[in-house]
């Protein structure tokens, strides 16, 4: 609760006290990981989230946070494993699929990226970011015609979505 209020000192004191009472509480390690992540201490955040995941492997937010840390650290294979775990625990989680697609783009694995992003479109057809990202992939693959189609769809969905306009402009 205190973490959400961004009162980190109090949140940390409360979590450390809870850890003294119960050293086997996944939520305590999750909170400590969140505090460390917010403070920018990725190594300590990772350590706490890993402990939380070992105690309770079914905590979706713990795996999602680990995936984010690994993505920041450019440990893309580890990030993909954690996003896959999120998808297994919460099959309707579109964000984990989208983030996996983004990682595949960063890795230059465009077919895998398109597969993940197209999975997202099955449930999130009104998300211009997904269409824009697919357009970017097609530009990188040299298919400007298909890229333009996706950028135009992003604009159709949200006429205020500026990145798609910029990408369309780049094509001309």
Q: What is the pLDDT of residues 36-90, one digit of tens each?
A: 998 889 999 999 999 999 999 999 999 999 999 999 999 999 999 999 999 999 9
Q: What is the pLDDT of residues 111-143, one digit of tens each?
A: 999 999 999 998 867 789 999 999 999 999 999
Rounded to whole angstroms, the Cα distance separating 86 from 104 reads: 17
Q: How many CB atoms lie within 10 A of CB 135?
A: 26
CA distances from 85 to 41, 80, 96 (A): 23, 9, 9
Rounded to whole angstroms, the Cα distance separating 110 from 68 reads: 20
On the 0-12 / 13-18 / 19+ scale of CB atoms within 10 A, 90 is: middle
Rounded (5°) CA angle 43-3-26: 60
Q: Please say whether the beta carbons of 114 and 136 come within 8 A.
A: no
On the 0-12 / 13-18 / 19+ scale of CB atoms within 10 A, 72 is: middle
Rounded to whole angstroms, the Cα distance separating 53 from 44 reads: 14
Of 18-27, 86-95, 123-132, 149-158, the poorest mean pLDDT is in 18-27
> What is residue 90's DSSP assignment?
S
- Average pLDDT of the residues in 96-108: 95
Confidence of residue 1 (pLDDT cuts 50, 70, 90): very low
Rounded to whole angstroms, the Cα distance separating 116 from 87 reads: 11
User: Which region holds residue 74: left if phi is over 0, alpha if psi is between -120 and 50, else beta?
Assistant: left
């Amino acid at each position: 609760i205190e973490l959400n209020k961004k009162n980190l000192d109090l949140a940390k004191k409360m979590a450390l006290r809870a850890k003294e009472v119960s050293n086997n509480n996944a939520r305590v390690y999750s909170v400590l990981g969140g505090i460390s992540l917010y403070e920018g201490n990725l190594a300590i955040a990772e350590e706490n989230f890993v402990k939380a995941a070992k105690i309770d492997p079914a905590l979706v937010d713990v795996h999602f946070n680990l995936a984010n840390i690994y993505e920041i650290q450019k440990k893309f294979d580890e990030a993909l494993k954690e996003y896959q775990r999120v998808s297994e625990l919460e099959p309707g989680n579109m964000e984990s699929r989208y983030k996996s697609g983004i990682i595949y783009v960063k890795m230059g694995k465009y077919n895998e990226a398109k597969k993940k992003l197209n999975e997202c479109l099955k449930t999130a057809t009104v998300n211009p970011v997904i269409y824009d990202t697919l357009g970017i992939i097609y530009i990188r693959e040299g298919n400007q015609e298909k890229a333009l189609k996706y950028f135009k769809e992003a604009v159709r969905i949200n006429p205020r979505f500026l990145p798609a306009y910029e990408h369309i402009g780049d094509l001309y």
